[in-house]
């Protein structure tokens, strides 16, 4: 055997061993071997703290060693059931073999060349695939677009929102924008100007983008009653930007009438309707796009998070007739990176191959299990959501924080959102058995947090 042949044999053996290790972790139950954070986690966090920006949020002291499927192992050997998926991003589960293989294979061929300036296999293929997804999703609603859809690829959801702002202004030759209180659209200055979920995101960063107005989310006549009547003429508005289900604002699901009314307003006044589907898209709500639940077709749609299973990729999609901006008017050096595109293509294969359906089915199980376990509970107010995008609103912000911390210490990873809501956004391959475990651990944490809160 030559040295090259031996190297290939060793690499294959290592790949097989890694695959077995990933599979073993994915099948592990919640296992807490030392009170988190353990000594290795504490040491890592203490060592890195002097060098990282203090703007990073420390939800809880989790220091991850590896992850597979819906399970996460920390540096000290604790194994957690992940119901937050890297903030709704690890859509196909952690380190899915098909995604990992696509990344590894692409990295051996081409990592970067710049899609703004040059051509390579993948960029156009992903845009074509996204167009087909949109066309198929919206065709029954009569809104597939007269000429189809085109996409601009980005590195993130925030960049997608920025691109949507620019395209909306260019296509309409108008300047004003409408967003909603409770909405989250990103942290760069344009996207931050739309964001209105928490004041701390905007504190000391002004002046922000001028010409942005906020209405009340979920109230059908809020745009006309609050804005058109007092603050901005509709003929000056380029776009209404809205999350079909609010994410950071509390996992709020509006009545279909709200989004349908926004569509009618936009049609009446020549305004573009932009759906921020960064968190809701790519199967999270049990449909490929959350818009499908409401019978409303947007003009522009922003995707990210679950589109590439954790690789940095997003997309700003628009009906082709709106994509009138000329060459050079917008671009990005790294966005549409070949490795990220490979991950996205593998991700879409998995979503279409059953994970979107699993999101709908297991999401219903998780929602029902949470409602049943919390029925009559003193700390509980409401369970709401679509697919595997579920929010549990508790009585106070203090209780929500206490429950999230208890869940962490007991091996369940969840995140807060809104003022007092816990969000469940697990990988879309969550099983029914795992959903029942999550509901049970969460309900017990609610019980114990309520007991500890008593004077």
Task: State the architecture of 112-336 in CATH terms.
Answer: 3-Layer(aba) Sandwich (3.40)
| Cβ partners under 8 Å of residue 221, min gap 6 | 261
Domains 3-96+354-453 and 112-336 share a fold: no
What integer pLDDT is reported at residue 141 of this predicted model? Answer: 78
Q: Which two tokens stand for residue 20?
A: 């077995």
Q: Nearest to residue 184, comparing CAs of 172, 173, 176, 192?
A: 192
b/e burial code for range 60-96 (CB count within 10 A of at least 16 → b): eebbbeebbbbbbbbbbebbbbbbbbbebbbbbbbbb
- Report the alpha-carbon distance of residue 209 to residue 6 in Å, rounded: 59
What integer pLDDT is reported at residue 115 of this predicted model? Answer: 84
What integer pLDDT is reported at residue 207 of this predicted model? Answer: 94
- Report the alpha-carbon distance of residue 416 to residue 371 in Å, rounded: 18
Q: What 3 state SS string does 94-159 have?
A: ECCHHHHHHHHHHHCCCCCCCCCCCCCCCHHHHHHHHHHHHHHHHHCCCCCCCCCEEEEEECCHHH
Q: Which two tokens stand for residue 295?
A: 């019978």
- Report the alpha-carbon distance of residue 391 to residue 250 in Å, rounded: 7
What integer pLDDT is reported at residue 376 of this predicted model? Answer: 87
What integer pLDDT is reported at residue 199 of this predicted model? Answer: 93
- Per-domain boundaries in the chain: 3-96+354-453, 112-336
- Report the alpha-carbon distance of residue 268 to residue 162 in Å, rounded: 25
Give the 3-state secondary structure of residue 37: coil
Strand 272-276 with 237-242, pairing:
parallel
- Report the alpha-carbon distance of residue 58 to residue 60 in Å, rounded: 5
What integer pLDDT is reported at residue 22 of this predicted model? Answer: 73
The CA–CA distances, whole Å, from 311 to 96, 154, 335, 336 equal 12, 11, 11, 11
Strand 380-386 with 389-394, pairing:
antiparallel
CATH topology of domain 3-96+354-453: 3.90.1150
For residue 183, report the phi and psi dihedrals to the nearest 5 degrees. Answer: -80, 150
- Report the alpha-carbon distance of residue 223 to residue 208 in Å, rounded: 21
Find the radius of gyration of the CA atoms of the chain.
Answer: 22
What integer pLDDT is reported at residue 144 of this predicted model? Answer: 47
What integer pLDDT is reported at residue 23 of this predicted model? Answer: 77
Q: CA angle, 259 as apex, 257 and 260 as ends, to 5°? A: 60
> What DSSP assignment string belongs to 335-381?
TT-HHHHHHHHHHHHHIIIIIHHHHHHHHHHHHHHHHHHHTT-TTEE
- Report the alpha-carbon distance of residue 260 to residue 274 in Å, rounded: 13
Q: Which two tokens stand for residue 404?
A: 């999230």
- Report the alpha-carbon distance of residue 201 to residue 190 in Å, rounded: 13
DSSP type of residue 227: I
Digit-by-digit pLDDT tens for the chain (455 residues) are: 565 555 545 455 555 556 667 778 988 999 999 999 999 999 999 999 999 999 998 899 999 999 999 999 999 999 999 999 999 999 999 999 999 999 999 999 999 999 888 899 999 999 999 999 999 999 877 754 457 999 999 999 999 999 999 999 999 999 999 999 999 999 999 999 999 999 999 999 999 999 999 999 999 999 999 999 999 999 999 999 999 999 999 999 999 999 999 999 999 999 999 999 999 999 999 999 999 999 999 999 999 999 999 999 999 999 999 999 999 999 999 999 999 999 999 999 999 999 999 999 999 999 999 999 999 888 889 999 999 999 999 999 999 999 999 999 999 999 999 999 999 999 999 999 999 999 999 999 999 998 877 65
Neighbouring C-beta atoms of residue 224, cutoff 10 Å: 13
What integer pLDDT is reported at residue 278 of this predicted model? Answer: 98
The pTM of this model reads 0.93
CB 258 within 8 A of CB 268: no
């Amino acid at each position: 055997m030559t040295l090259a042949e031996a190297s290939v044999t060793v690499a294959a053996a290592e790949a097989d061993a890694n695959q077995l290790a990933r599979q073993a972790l994915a099948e592990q139950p919640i296992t807490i071997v030392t009170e988190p954070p353990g000594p290795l986690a504490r040491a890592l966090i203490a060592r890195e703290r002097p060098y990282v920006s203090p703007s990073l949020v420390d939800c809880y002291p989790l220091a991850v060693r590896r992850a597979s499927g819906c399970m996460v192992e920390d540096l000290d050997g604790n194994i957690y059931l992940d119901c937050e998926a890297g903030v709704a991003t690890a859509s196909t589960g952690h380190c899915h073999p098909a995604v990992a293989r696509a990344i590894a294979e692409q990295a051996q061929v081409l990592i970067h060349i710049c899609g703004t300036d040059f051509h390579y296999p993948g960029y156009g293929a992903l845009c074509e695939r996204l167009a087909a997804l949109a066309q198929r999703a919206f065709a029954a609603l009569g809104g597939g677009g007269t000429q189809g859809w085109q996409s601009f690829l980005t590195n993130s959801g925030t960049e997608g929102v920025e691109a949507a702002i620019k395209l909306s202004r260019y296509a309409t030759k108008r300047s004003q924008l409408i967003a909603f209180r409770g909405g989250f659209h990103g942290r760069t200055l344009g996207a931050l100007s739309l964001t209105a979920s928490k004041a701390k995101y905007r504190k000391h960063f002004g002046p922000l983008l001028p010409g942005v107005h906020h209405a009340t989310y979920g109230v059908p006549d809020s745009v006309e009653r609050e804005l058109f009547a007092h603050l901005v003429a509709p003929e000056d508005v380029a776009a209404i930007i809205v999350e079909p289900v609010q994410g950071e604002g509390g996992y709020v699901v509006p009545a279909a009438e709200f989004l349908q009314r926004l569509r009618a307003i936009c049609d009446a006044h020549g305004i573009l309707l932009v759906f921020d589907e960064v968190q809701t898209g790519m199967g999270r709500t049990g449909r490929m796009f959350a818009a499908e639940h409401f019978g409303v077709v947007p003009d522009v749609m922003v995707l990210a998070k679950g589109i590439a299973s954790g690789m940095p990729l997003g997309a700003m999609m628009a009906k082709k007739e709106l994509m009138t901006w000329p060459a050079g008017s917008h671009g990005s050096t790294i966005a549409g990176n070949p490795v990220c595109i490979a991950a996205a293509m593998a991700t879409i294969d998995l979503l279409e191959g059953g994970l979107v359906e699993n999101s709908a089915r297991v999401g219903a199980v998780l929602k029902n299990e949470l409602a049943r376990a919390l029925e009559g509970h003193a700390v509980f107010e409401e369970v709401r959501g679509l697919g595997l995008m579920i929010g549990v609103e508790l009585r106070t912000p203090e209780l929500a924080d206490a429950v999230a911390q208890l869940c962490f210490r007991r091996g369940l990873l969840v995140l807060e959102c809104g003022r007092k809501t816990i969000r469940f956004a697990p990988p879309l391959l969550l099983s029914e058995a795992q959903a029942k475990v999550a509901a049970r651990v969460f309900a017990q944490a609610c019980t114990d947090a309520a007991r500890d809160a008593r004077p």
